[in-house]
Amino acid sequence: MGFVLKVMGFLGWALLSLIAIVPVVAARHRPWSHSKKVNISEEDLVTELAGQPKVEFSHYAGYVTVNEKHGRALFYWFYEASSHPEEKPLVLWLNGGPGCSSVGYGATQEIGPFTVDTDGSGLKLNPYSWNREANMLFLESPAGVGFSYSNTTTDYDTLGDSVTAKDTYIFLHKWFNKFPTYRHRSFYIAGESYAGKYVPELAELIYDMNKHPSLHINLKGFLLGNPETSDADDWRGMVDYAWSHAVISDETHKIIKESCNFDKGDPWSNDSCSQAVDELLNQYKEIDIYSLYTSVCTNSTSSNDGSMQVMYNSKSKMMPRIMGGYDPCLDDYAKTFYNRPDVQKALHVSDDLHLKNWSICNYKIFREWSESRPSIVPIYKKLIAAGLRIWVYSGDTDGRVPVLSTRYSLGALELPITRAWRPWYHQKQVGGWFQEYEGLTFATFRGAGHAVPTFKPSESLALFASFLAGESMPSER
């Protein structure tokens, strides 16, 4: 209860009064029409996005101010479901970092209806977009990520897990005021990587605040891919995975096992451990830590979402990846596209932001992150007991948050198994393996890297549909 009261103080009377005076409109069936929208924020409607293919659904982009005094505003991009949006749930997607863009990654590399073309000139349709199954809301969070900003620069000095969860919570309530037909819609949260902390923390905050009827959000559950969960188990899994996949030597693995105490949270606490861990990270600079068996982008100076800034300065032409047709230079295309003035205008980006300023990750935020929970396992236990639907999936060729890290972390929950380990199938092929526990489902994706939907788009859409329906993954060909 103390936690709830602290959060209530943070939200302040302004949010509560705002929610109280704005009429709450329940989700309703409405005729599908492009000429007339019902209870929708028309000023954020996207109508002239450069290179956009023609679609039969509407999408919206813009800002929600989460702190009026500081001028702190979060940027979102919302896609209605491609069919029958009035009947489908609302899903919030968050990428991690911390400091990386859900618009640049989730919306236009992974699960959104558009992907950025190879020269940044336009967009291509994604036939496996998750808005086939749900209304999808992508948020750049916290302030300082992507197009989100604050007019108070000191806000950037205190960013951490708690601030991010609280700002996202305020965002949701204010967003529902823009889009009131979604206020009572079934609501889920999804994300990957460091969102393994963002998502459960936000879910816990919503669950606690739902004790106040005026603040109720119809949260049903959450879905996480290759999530950071428990720092100690994440480190152990990363080390064991690197050794078992021949990235490090037996000797390096042995030194780490004997000299590192990851439970203390600092792998550089002694020289032997520090040198061995540095050796592991140095080996990963030679390949893509997020996808062990695919090529790196050889003409890029950008890095991916995560803990290491690996620079590729070669002038040779890009080598396309083999798995899933994935292009390792997607980050560069996104940077070109989102820094175009006409694109920023179409997305209603603030005039206060300088052009050519969008980046897919803000590494200053990453380096100076002020607060991170060492383990989310207690939140899992709390929300499993509350009856939320919780699914976790893992691409099995990711070295950054490998499948072993997730298995170690979930093992700490000590949940009874209700359905034993077995393969799941997609289009008569093994998509991966899964196991069901009391209150949680865990699934792997065979041959997928860190950002699973980029490598296995059709399979990930199938998993998403099963998650929303509350159905087991297909276990027969």
When mean pLDDT is compared across 22-31, 196-205, 458-467, the lowest value belongs to 22-31
State yes or no: is 253 an active-site residue.
no
pLDDT for 341: 92
pLDDT for 305: 39
Q: From CA 10, how far away is CA 45, in angstroms rounded? A: 31
When mean pLDDT is compared across 127-141, 159-173, 337-351, the lowest value belongs to 337-351
Asked if pLDDT for residue 32 goes beyond 90, the answer is: no
Catalytic residue among 167, 426, 450, 466: 450
Q: Could you tell me which residues are beta bridge partners of residue 406?
A: none
Average pLDDT of every residue of the chain: 87
Asked if pLDDT for residue 3 goes beyond 80, the answer is: no
Domain spans, the chain: 41-229+331-468, 231-330
Contact 227, 407 (CB under 8 A): no
Catalytic residue among 300, 394, 398, 426: 398
pLDDT for 323: 41
Q: From CA 415, how far away is CA 144, in angstroms rounded? A: 38
pLDDT for 355: 64
- Reported as a single tens digit per residue, the pLDDT across 118-163 is 777 889 999 999 999 999 999 999 999 999 999 999 999 999 999 9
pLDDT band at 31 (very low <50, low <70, confident <90, very high): very low
State yes or no: is 450 an active-site residue.
yes
pLDDT for 325: 52
Percent of the chain with pLDDT over 70: 85
Q: Which residues contact 342 (CB under 8 A, 6 or more apart)?
A: 50
The number of CA neighbours under 13 Å toward the Cβ of 186 is 16
Percent of the chain with pLDDT over 90: 76
When mean pLDDT is compared across 221-225, 302-306, 378-382, 434-438, the lowest value belongs to 302-306
pLDDT for 4: 44
Dihedral (CA of 210, 215, 218, 219) sign: negative
Q: From CA 402, how far away is CA 408, in angstroms rounded? A: 10
State yes or no: is 394 an active-site residue.
no
Contact 393, 224 (CB under 8 A): yes
Q: Residue 343: in which H helix or E strand, if any?
A: helix 341-346
pLDDT for 25: 31
Q: According to the per-residue pLDDT averaged within each range, which of 151-155, 333-337, 341-345, 439-443 is highest?
A: 439-443
Residue whose pair of structure tokens reads 């060492």 in the numeric block: 374
- Reported as a single tens digit per residue, the pLDDT across 265-321 is 777 778 999 999 999 999 999 999 999 998 888 765 444 433 333 323 333 333 333
CATH fold label, 41-229+331-468:
Rossmann fold (3.40.50)
Q: What 3-state DSSP class applies to 36? A: coil
Name the amino acid, one letter, at 224: L
pLDDT for 320: 35
Q: From CA 295, how far away is CA 289, in angstroms rounded? A: 11
- Reported as a single tens digit per residue, the pLDDT across 412-454 is 999 999 999 999 999 999 999 999 999 999 999 999 999 999 9
Residue whose pair of structure tokens reads 């037909």 in the numeric block: 181
pLDDT for 34: 34
pLDDT for 158: 92
Catalytic residue among 193, 230, 375, 394: 193
User: Residue range 349-370: average pLDDT?
Assistant: 86
